[in-house]
Amino acid sequence: MNVRELAQFLHGSPRRIHLIGVAGSGMSGIAALLLALGHRVSGSDKVDTAEVKRLQSLGLDFRTPHRASDADDAEMIIYSSAIRAGNPAFDAARAAGKPLVRRAEALSGLMAGKKGILVCGMHGKTTVSAMTAHVFRAAGTHPSHYVGAEIPILGTNARWDAGGEFFIAEGDESDGTIVQYHPEHSIVLNIEPEHLDHYPDLAAIDAAFTQLLRQTAGKIIYCSDDEGARRVCAAFPDAVSYGKTGHYALRDFRAADFGSVFAVFRGGEELARVTLNVPGEHNAINACAALALAAELGLDLSVCAKALETFRGARRRFETLFASPDFLVVDDYGHHPTEIAAVLRAARDTGRARVLLLFQPHRYTRTQALQEEFGRALALADAAVVTDVYPASEEPIRGVSGQLLVDAAARHGAKDVYYQAARDEAGRCAGQLLRPGDLLVTLGAGNIHEQGTALASDLRILEMLREAMGDGVARLYEPMAKHTTMRVGGPAQFWLEPETEHGFCELVRVAHGEGIPLMVVGRGSNLIVRDGGLRGAVVRLRRGVFGEFAVEGDCIRAGVGVRLKALSGAAVTAGLAGFEWMEGIPGDVGGCLRMNAGAMGVEAFDQVERLRYADHEGNILEKTPRELEVHYRNVPLLRANYALSAVFRGERADPAEVDRRTKEYSAKRKASQPAGASAGCIFRNPEGGKAGQLVDSAGLKNHHVGAARVSDRHANFIVNEGGASATDVLALVEEVRAAVLARHGVRLENEVQVIGEDRPAA
């Protein structure tokens, strides 16, 4: 069917029409228009969405998954650009000889029933078509519209208004179907190399736009700031320009309060003063396009300009996901270098200290063809994380990945730009980079917004926990490898370091009340955290009161964040014996208490006089060892409660003698234990034997998995030689356990604590 025949079919008596791929944003809009025109509409897709449910309430007959029988009784089948041969409904309709119509062809037929206004170009179509529909509605023209995203202020992405003469729609140029349209008026935003998977070169793109403009009956509104738009549009007799220069000129632009104020002039005459509540000069220029067409058609510009003040933009167009005094997270659909640069400039206008970018490239062909342009755009961010390519419908191209763009950004001067292939890893990397005062933008046409949503959710929880805690440190996705002596471990979802007992107790109360898992860690000297990290709040008590200690007669009161080495040193200075065994143990008081740590025949609770702790409801209590159940490497009370401080008793002695014995203990430790990164003894000594001797006699010294190696000095130690993962360490632990069991019939049990989640398989 040609456009005239399509228009007669779609604007005639009700028909039976089936849409393949109806859940997509473009196809769902077509379905809404057809239902409004009275057609009997069915649709199929592989997924269900909220918009599909809304359309079902309006009469859509929805089927999932696609089936060959879906279109049996349909008089016409409309399909999205993502549908190919092999789709059962498509193949069955073609075999039956039914009319198969592409989405753009159907839209052109629908537009033909009114005065069509087509908004086209590589970037900004959704925003400009939404702005135009909004100001035309405010001016009382009752326009119909078709916009490629959810626009809260318009109500729906597509609407048919029988009372108006205009139909405003965005035209997709990606697959060449832009030549199907015969609009009354066209707005051309920009023309540049894009969709080179479809077009052989820029000349072919120019030719498609030129054909569209020849088919435009009325005004051609084009952006004079864009070289491509000038090149193609300027020679047409009805062409009218807008931008920072042109027939309609933007002047006096000023960024203000997450938006802007500016004036629109025609020649030397000021036509309107505008307050726009979406940020960026590019959006002010977009608004200028809508006002230029409104002026050319004789609408009341004062009404149109006032309407722009209430415009709030489309979903995924600089959409705020999270905002607080410290952090701002926004999401945008931009996926072309020009769009990235425009969004980053708009982000700068918000006045935030730094602008961070989490970017997902879209399509392998675009990534390969425009890698240098992407590199220049990415370099505009203070820091950027790039994940792997969202393929859309493309097959991978060898050597093309997000790393290509990171390398290009480095060539263009970017200092802090990182590649993380997996989206979840990229999101965590971006979260780790956040500092108070930052704005983070998630950008891409694929599914990167899911990481933005997850980040926003975690920031809300982090802010709640930080408010409860008061003074201290609060960070997202802190690598546990920085906080374990083995130097392995994935991220802690929420990392918190309170400075007061009250702050910690409030943190405990809030976490418990909200169902947020909470655990306290020390220096991680007897801990292996798996590579998937830890969910919930992970608390380190080392700041403020938790790092303080004081000598009180024959005792030392110490907070749980005091290092055992510091406690031993204080005992030497005070002339208190009994603390010598602590010298050289790479832990702190909290871990020592929790594990009832010991060495050289001494255990922690041999010296503890009083224990101060908080329960899981945030109440502070004290107990003496006589009131506690204490076992070897286990204090059950501290499995469900949190040590805050303890009083340790010593014995008065000559400081010089205490110093001598302390140095002697230290020398023995250094002589018997490896110096590298380790978690201490991996296995408990079995009854009547030594775990290290069993491992040694099984011939496992120097045995390794990756960079995790059994120490050649002490076989009950595993050393991270640099770059080992928790997976490497734990694989080595199991190999050692299996070898000792096979050789000696003894099953070794862990002394080290293993916590956290495994990293999901790629």
Per-residue pLDDT of 564-620, as tens digits, reads 989 999 999 999 998 988 887 778 999 889 888 877 778 889 999 999 999 988 999
Strand partners, 102: 79
Distance CA(247)–CA(267), nearest Å, equals 6
Centre a 10 Å sphere on the Cβ of residue 264 and count the other Cβ atoms it contains: 25
Domain 676-755 grouped into CATH 3.90.78.10: yes
Does the pLDDT value for residue 671 go beyond 70?
no
Average pLDDT over residues 536-554: 95
Average pLDDT over residues 664-669: 76
List CB contacts of 88: < 8 A, sequence separation 6 or more: 66, 67, 68, 70
The amino acid that residue 681 corresponds to is C
Q: State the pLDDT at residue 314.
A: 64
359 and 387 in contact (C-beta within 8 Å)? yes
Average pLDDT over residues 424-453: 93
Please, which pLDDT band fits residue 316 given cuts at 50, 70 and 90? Answer: confident
CA-to-CA dists, residue 415 to 224, 379, 406, 418, 477, angstroms: 34, 8, 10, 9, 22
Q: State the pLDDT at residue 390.
A: 92
Q: Supply 503's token pair.
A: 């702050």
Average pLDDT over residues 95-113: 92
* Strands annotated E in 604-762: 608-614, 620-623, 642-649, 651-652, 704-705, 708-710, 718-720, 753-755
Pairing relation of β-strands 115-120 and 166-170? parallel
Helix H segments across 86-243? 88-95, 103-111, 125-138, 202-214, 227-233
Residue range 381-420, pLDDT digits in tens: 999 999 999 998 789 999 999 999 999 999 999 989 999 9
- Closest C-alpha to 339, from 312, 365, 366, 364: 366
Does the pLDDT value for residue 672 go beyond 70?
no
Q: State the pLDDT at residue 762.
A: 45
Q: Sheet containing 438-443: which strands, arranged edge to edge?
A: 319-323, 327-332, 438-443, 354-359, 383-386, 417-419
- Closest C-alpha to 111, from 129, 90, 135, 84: 129
CA 624 to chain CA centroid, nearest Å? 48
Distance CA(485)–CA(344), nearest Å, equals 40
Average pLDDT over residues 415-432: 93
Architecture of domain 544-671: 2-Layer Sandwich (3.30)
Fold for 114-308, please state it: UDP-N-acetylmuramoyl-L-alanine:D-glutamate ligase (3.40.1190)
The b/e string for 713-737 (b: 16+ C-beta within 10 A; e otherwise) is ebbbbbbbeeebbbbbbbebbeebb
Of 339 and 734, the one with more pLDDT:
734
Average pLDDT over residues 91-99: 93
Q: What is the mean pLDDT of the chain?
A: 91
CA-to-CA dists, residue 119 to 152, 159, 216, angstroms: 19, 16, 12
Helix (H, G, I), strand (E, B) or coil at 719: strand
List CB contacts of 347: < 8 A, sequence separation 6 or more: 279, 330, 355, 439, 441
Please, which pLDDT band fits residue 760 given cuts at 50, 70 and 90? Answer: low
- Closest C-alpha to 144, from 159, 156, 155: 159
Please, which pLDDT band fits residue 688 given cuts at 50, 70 and 90? Answer: confident
Q: State the pLDDT at residue 43.
A: 95
Residue range 1-13, pLDDT digits in tens: 788 889 999 999 9
Tokens 């996705």 locate to: 477
22 and 131 in contact (C-beta within 8 Å)? no
Fold for 319-457, please state it: Protein-Tyrosine Phosphatase; Chain A (3.90.190)
Fold for 3-104, please state it: Rossmann fold (3.40.50)
Q: State the pLDDT at residue 49.
A: 85
The alpha carbon torsion through 367, 370, 371, 374 (nearest 10 deg) reads: -100
Please, which pLDDT band fits residue 361 given cuts at 50, 70 and 90? Answer: very high
Domain ranges (residues) in the chain = 3-104, 114-308, 319-457, 544-671, 676-755
Q: Supply 241's token pair.
A: 């320009």
- Closest C-alpha to 594, from 525, 690, 664: 525
Residue range 2-60, pLDDT digits in tens: 888 899 999 999 999 999 999 988 899 999 999 999 999 999 998 888 889 999 999 99
Does the pLDDT value for residue 481 go beyond 50?
yes
List CB contacts of 312: < 8 A, sequence separation 6 or more: 152, 153, 277, 278
Please, which pLDDT band fits residue 552 given cuts at 50, 70 and 90? Answer: very high
Residue range 226-267, pLDDT digits in tens: 999 999 999 999 899 999 999 999 999 998 767 889 999 998
Distance CA(249)–CA(179), nearest Å, equals 29
Positions annotated as catalytic residues are: 125-126, 170
Helix H segments across 234-360? 281-296, 301-308, 337-349
Q: Supply 70's token pair.
A: 């879906």
DSSP class of residue 581? Answer: G
**pTM, full prediction:** 0.75
Residue range 157-198, pLDDT digits in tens: 899 999 999 999 999 888 888 999 999 999 999 999 888 888
Average pLDDT over residues 357-381: 94
Distance CA(70)–CA(88), nearest Å, equals 9
- Closest C-alpha to 273, from 236, 245, 308: 308
Does the pLDDT value for residue 761 go beyond 60?
no
Q: State the pLDDT at residue 718.
A: 96
Distance CA(370)–CA(400), nearest Å, equals 11
41 and 59 in contact (C-beta within 8 Å)? yes
Does the pLDDT value for residue 664 go beyond 90?
no
Q: Which range among 256-270, 279-293, 493-507 shows the weakest confidence by mean pLDDT?
A: 256-270
Q: State the pLDDT at residue 630.
A: 85
Q: Is the dihedral of CA 103, 150, 395, 67 positive or negative?
A: negative
Q: State the pLDDT at residue 257.
A: 67
| Residue 86: burial class (beta carbons within 10 Å; 0-12, 13-18, 19+) | exposed
